[in-house]
Amino acid sequence: MKRSVFAAVAALGLAVSPAGAQLVLDQQQTDYNIAIPFGFVNDGDNLPVGQSFTAGLSGTFAGFQLVSNYGGENSSDVTFEIRQGSGLAGTVLGTASQSVTCQENGDGFCIFTFDTSGLGITLAAGQQYTFDFTASTGILGTYGVLGTGYDSYAGGKAFPGPGYGDAPFNWDMEFKTYVDVGGSEPGVPEPASWAMMLTGFGLTGAAMRRRKIFLTA
């Protein structure tokens, strides 16, 4: 199932702060036909899941978004890492623990925003990176995230952690990444401000979602 949100995002244009920071939607994969499962709440495995991507823009990595196969105003406690290269074995560039809150899109799914602006990670256009995370509590740990069972994103792929059986090398998460192309100037918004801006972008393309996807073991 393919959904386009380019028009909606383009209508917003760049999110420009008075200090000159420019928050831009960089990479995205918006197809879905499966849910990539976890099992943290059910069996306590707390295994990491990741997605690699190729940066299209150079700048400060501001954040990324994922979509859960569930709705409702809930939060999840998450620890995530940003790695150099493709895969879960790359050099860690930054790590953080956050409580992320579901922004329900009205069609039964949750958008979760992960704020990476405080990590000071600089992305270089054309280079590959991987975000991976574990969810110790909440609906991300129970329901997993939406994705595809085919290789719809050419710039990377999903990486399930040990315990998921054969790695689905042609899977992709449904995700978006955001880059601050304005640089780190005095007066750049605090991380909480970035999170609010990212949430606004995430809710823009929400209207096209229509149904829940059953988990794939």
- Please check whether residue 213 lies inside any domain of the structure: no
CATH number reported for the structural domain that contains residue 156 in this entry = 2.60.120.820
d(CA 129, CA 198): 20
- List the single range of 36-40, 72-76, 155-159, 182-186 with lowest mean pLDDT: 182-186
Tally of domains within the chain: 1
Q: In this predicted structure, what is the pLDDT of residue 113?
A: 92
- Please check whether residue 106 lies inside any domain of the structure: yes
- Please check whether residue 217 lies inside any domain of the structure: no
User: Greater confidence, 215 or 136?
Assistant: 136
Contact of 138 with 74, CB cutoff 8 Å: yes
- Please check whether residue 212 lies inside any domain of the structure: no
- Please check whether residue 184 lies inside any domain of the structure: yes
pLDDT tens string 31-61: 988 877 654 444 445 567 889 999 999 999 9
Domain ranges, residue 45: 6-206
pLDDT tens string 60-106: 999 999 988 776 667 778 889 999 999 888 999 999 999 888 887 76
The CA distances from residue 26 to 39, 51, 177, 192, 196, in Å, are 30, 15, 6, 20, 17
Instruction: Give the mean pLDDT of 22-39.
Output: 84
Q: 91 Cβ partners below 8 Å, 6+ apart?
A: 83, 84, 85
d(CA 65, CA 169): 21
The pairing of beta strand 49-54 with beta strand 158-160: antiparallel
Residues β-bridged to residue 64 = 114, 177
- Please check whether residue 24 lies inside any domain of the structure: yes
- Please check whether residue 192 lies inside any domain of the structure: yes
Query: Mean pLDDT score of the chain, rounded to an integer?
Result: 74
- Please check whether residue 214 lies inside any domain of the structure: no
d(CA 55, CA 203): 22
Instruction: Give the mean pLDDT of 192-208.
Output: 51
Q: In this predicted structure, what is the pLDDT of residue 137?
A: 66
Q: In this predicted structure, what is the pLDDT of residue 145?
A: 83
Q: In this predicted structure, what is the pLDDT of residue 170?
A: 77
User: Greater confidence, 99 or 122?
Assistant: 122
The pairing of beta strand 15-16 with beta strand 22-29: antiparallel
